[in-house]
Amino acid sequence: MKVFKKWNKSLWTGVVFSLVAVAYLIGSYSIGPSAKRFGIFGAAFMPRLYGAVLLLCAVIQLVVGIRQYRKEKDKEIPEPTEAEKKEKLLNARNVAVGFVLIFLYMLSMKTLGFVISSAIFLFCLCNLLLPKTKDRKKAQLGIVLLAVLLPTLSYLFFKNVVYMALPAGPIFHGVI
């Protein structure tokens, strides 16, 4: 694990996108055959071109990254303090929570309906974004107001004024 910490951005870029390029190129072989008259310029031509150039760029980044790594290998990186480490972990956790939140939100939109899923989502997201210095309890009222009002008003506006029906969900089906 410790080895990864010393990897610089170029190195990461190189590795990640080399893998992506290879996966993409392999995937391009699953594309069906094109009409004979296209010759080599069939449906798979451009994907392979993109994949090849991407691989090239990723390798360049890899080289740049390795060079930089060698230069900085023996440089002393100051150990982060306990407090700093804790902060970093909390922030990383928050990011993960953020992604999971968005994922769950989208998953639940069809079943719970737009209004309910959005209300829950907004509530959670606002709380996630609340700076730690702010008074948590006091801010809840404002957050709840936003979380409930905004989706409801938007739903009504979009449904009745411009006839765009957002997912209704069990409660609103046939009611509004």
Partner 1 sequence: MLESLALGVRSVCTPVGLLITLLGTVVGIIFGAVPGLSATTAIVLCLPLTYKMSSINGMALLISLFIGGISGGLVSAILTRIPGTPSSVATTWDGYPMTQKGQGVKALGIGICASFFGTLFSIIVLIFAAPSLARVAIQFGAYEYFAVAVFSITMMATLSEKSMSKGLISGLMGCIFATVGMDPAGSQKRFTLGIRSMMSGFNILPVLVGLFAVCEIITYIEKARNAKGFEVIDVDLKGVKGMGFTWKEFWGQKWNLLRSAVIGCIIGILPGIGASTSNVMAYTVAKKSSKHPEAFGTGIIDGIVASEAANNASIGGAMVPLLALGIPGDSVTALLLGGLTLKGISAGPLLFTEHVDLVYSIFIAMILASVFMLVIEFYGLRIFAKLLGLPKYYMLPAIFLFCVIGAYGVHNNIFDVWTVLVFGAVGFLFTKLDIPASPFILGFIIGPLAEENLRRGLMLSKGSFLPFLQSPLALVFFGLALISVVASTVSHRKRIKAQKQSNG
Partner 2 sequence: MKKLATILAAVLLVTLALGSVSLAETSWPEKTLEIVVPYKAGGDTDFHTRKLAEYLEPILGQTIIITNIEGASGSIGMIDVMESAPDGYKMLYFHESMLTNNVVEICEFTHNDLDVCAASVVDDSYVLVVGAQTPYQTLDELVAAAKENPGDIAFAASSGGYSYYCGRLLEETAGIDLNVCDAGGTGARNSAVLSNKMQVTAHVYGGLKPYIDSGEFRVLCALGAERNPLFPDIPTARELGYDMVGGRAYFLSFPKGTDPEIIAKMSAAIEQVCQNEQFIKETQDAYMTTPSYLNTEELQKRLDDNLAFFWAHRDLLVEE
Buried b vs exposed e over 38-59: b needs ≥16 C-beta within 10 Å?
eeeebebeeebeebeebbeebe
| Shortest distance in whole angstroms from residue 54 CB to partner 1 | 5
Of 106-165, which residues contact partner 2 (CB under 8 A)? 163, 165
In angstroms, give the least distance from the CB of 2 to partner 1.
19
- Rounded CA gap, 91 and 88, in Å? 5
Identify which of residues 48 and 159 has a Cβ nearer to partner 2 in the complex: 159
Choose from partner 1, partner 2, none: what does 150 bind? Cβ within 5-8 Å by kind: partner 1
Q: What is the largest CA-CA distance in the chain?
A: 70
Q: Which parts of 25-44 interact with partner 2 (CB under 8 A)?
A: 35-37
HSE-CB for 34 with a 13 A CA cutoff: 13
Residue 42 vs 98, nearer CB to partner 2: 42
